[in-house]
């Protein structure tokens, strides 16, 4: 897997896309190693790339009103292999990384807000693509309207974090 962010110490941000209850957010990253078809996906493997001190933003798909980033946690740098059920109850091997210090945002960054800045968000994507090529593991799909990818963990570029005042506590 190509990791365009590794040589830049400022690129320490990730975005977890989750459907769990709010009380279960921010404690750990856990991704099944294989998808339903039995293949490894890059978005799942990224769990093992979260370093100590990295910041994981939590995009909560079940947020009342509309989905958005509701808080963040800090990576511990500890990685392990575990086993557990997926959403369909199938048990299989997982990659796991504990998180600490879950903090709610003062003001959530909603999907509507991201869409208001759609052209700037997609400009970040295009510039990264020109510089590094794919895959970028970018958190949003290029399209109209912009929406989160169908993946578990994404690479959240520092430029995206700087774009939104709601995310300033993460810096």
Tokens for 79, please give them. 């990685």
pLDDT of residue 106: 96
Helix (H, G, I), strand (E, B) or coil at 110: strand
Residue closest to 46 by CA, chosen among 5, 103, 10, 92: 5
pLDDT of residue 89: 84
Other beta carbons within 10 Å of 100: 12
Question: What structural domains and CATH numbers belong to the chain?
Answer: 13-163 (3.10.590)
Q: What angle do CA 103, 108, 109 make, to 5 degrees?
A: 120
Q: Summarize pLDDT for 92-127 with one digit per residue, the tens.
A: 999 999 999 999 999 999 999 999 999 999 999 999
Residue closest to 126 by CA, chosen among 157, 104, 150: 157
pLDDT at 162 exceeding the cut of 90: yes
Give dist(CA 131, CA 29) in Å, integer: 29
pLDDT of residue 144: 67
Give dist(CA 143, CA 159) in Å, integer: 20
Q: Summarize pLDDT for 13-69 with one digit per residue, the tens.
A: 999 999 989 999 999 999 989 888 888 888 889 999 999 999 999 999 999 999 999
pLDDT at 164 exceeding the cut of 90: yes
Cβ atoms of 96 and 79 closer than 8 Å = yes
Q: Determine which helix (DSSP H) or strand (DSSP E) holds 106, and give its type and residue range.
A: strand 91-110
8: exposed, middle or buried (Cβ count in 10 Å: 0-12, 13-18, 19+):
exposed
pLDDT at 1 exceeding the cut of 80: no
- Strands 13-18 and 55-60 come out as parallel
- Predicted model pTM: 0.94
Average pLDDT over residues 137-160: 90
Give dist(CA 154, CA 9) in Å, integer: 17
Give dist(CA 48, CA 100) in Å, integer: 16
Residue in the structure block whose two tokens are 């090529």: 133
């Amino acid at each position: 897997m190509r990791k365009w962010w590794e040589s830049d110490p400022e690129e320490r941000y990730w975005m977890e896309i989750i459907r769990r209850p709010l009380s279960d957010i921010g404690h750990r990253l856990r991704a099944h190693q294989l998808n339903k078809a039995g293949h490894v996906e890059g978005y799942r493997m990224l769990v093992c790339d979260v370093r100590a001190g990295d910041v994981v933003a939590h995009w909560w798909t079940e947020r009342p009103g509309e989905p958005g980033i509701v808080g963040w946690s800090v990576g511990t740098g500890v990685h392990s292999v575990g086993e557990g059920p997926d959403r369909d109850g199938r048990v299989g091997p997982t990659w796991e990384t504990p998180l600490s210090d879950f903090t709610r945002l003062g003001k959530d960054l909603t999907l509507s807000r991201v869409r208001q800045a759609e052209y700037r968000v997609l400009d970040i994507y295009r510039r990264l693509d020109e510089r590094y090529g794919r895959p970028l593991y970018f958190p949003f799909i290029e399209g109209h309207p912009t929406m989160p990818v169908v993946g578990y963990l994404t690479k959240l570029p520092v430029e995206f974090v700087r774009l939104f005042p709601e995310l300033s506590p993460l810096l």
